[in-house]
Structure 1
Amino acid sequence: PGGIEKLTMMDMSVDMVNKWRELESATDDGPEMNFIVGDEEYLPMKENSQDLIMSCLGLHWTNDLPGAMIQCRLALKPDGLFLAAILGGETLKELRIACTIAQMEREGGISPRMSPLAQVRDAGNLLSRAGFALPGVDVDRYTVKYNSALELVEHLRAMAETNALFQRSHILKRDTALATAAIYQSMFGLEDGTIPATFQVIYMTGWKEHSSQQKPKRRGSATVSFGDIRKQFGSNQD
């Protein structure tokens, strides 16, 4: 009822944390702020200490995603809420296809140019595996237009969202890059000359267990069948 009294913000980047500190010091209103330089895989928080943990488009960088989510659950108080948004496997599907074809044509093989991402079907299992109660998953898909594939790649580099895999080719050959751009434009180019880039965002919610939460019914305890429901409400299908 009284709102948020204390807020902790964490990032692996010292520069980003310092920027947050500068922005916070410029304003006097809002909750008490605490800033931490830390890693989601080694969460620097005590068990049962947080009411809410939010992660916005950062967990796809972790090597052990289930382990990081387990640490989030442990840090939550009972009935605490975990909210996360991660990039899903459909993200940049156009670029993946174009780059794969270009590498096969120019180099006779492929090397991953983008980090692996979780699939929607895995999100619920990840929440359950991490021990969260009442898991929920939702998905949004965004399409962003760029003038060319090369402009898109420069945008990704500026976002520091290029491939993080150790076992990868560190150099994208010039002819392969140009072929990727040409294939991208040929396969996915729009009438206005731009190219679309898909970004899929998966939203995950889960609660730390508490006695006050709803509990699922025992399997086989249902007293009404789907057939009975169909008869009661009727069917619009012939």
Structure 2
Amino acid sequence: PISSDDETLKLWDLEQGRELATLSGHSSYVRAVAIAPDGKRAVSASEDNTLKLWDLEQGRELATLSGHSHWVTAVAIAPDGKRAVSASADYTLKLWDLEQGRELATLSGHSGWVRAVAIAPDGKRAVSASADKTLKLWDLEQGRELATLSGHSDEVNAVAIAPDGKRAVSASDDKTLKLWDLATGEEIASFTADTGVLACAVAPDGVTLVAGDRSGRVHFLRLEGL
């Protein structure tokens, strides 16, 4: 699915390049979407302060997840497909039970918009990125903060976790991409771009990083000797 400013999502057949369905129901811009590991469901995040759970096979809404008091800016689904974590402009994250469509916990601690969230491969931890210039590591089983990752000097726009769950990479408007050790909460390495970095990802090989900056450049980096 693709999210949009027209308040809908669209499901596409990527092999044939054709639209399969339009998912309507949000009452404001849709800012993010995540697909469950089984490919049968998706969760969308909207500026109407809600998330929606969708059945992709039937193209219909299954549930509305309400609880945030401001825009929902990002969402990630756990590897088991049973839970999701949302990030919001209300400075919080929320953990959701997707099978029952209910809120399990509110994760509080950031002092600015939470712009992004990633869930570790084991499904037990999550890392959030915020406009307060920090990232936070969360214990999803106990619903508590484990560590604050400090080092950026401007808003943190994105975060991704390596496939082994041991490291995370973050992208910031301070023009840097930073690599973090999640066991110690320490910064391992930093790459500086010419403009703010908006997005980042870790390849399945665990050593290739990809980042996009505000100038439109895409950077490919390889981790060596770490």
Q: Which has the higher contact order (CA 8 A, sep 6+)?
A: 1
Q: Which has the higher helix share?
A: 1
Which of 1 and 2 has greater Rg?
A: 1
Common fold by TM > 0.5: no
TM-score of the superposition, structure 1-length normalised?
Answer: 0.25
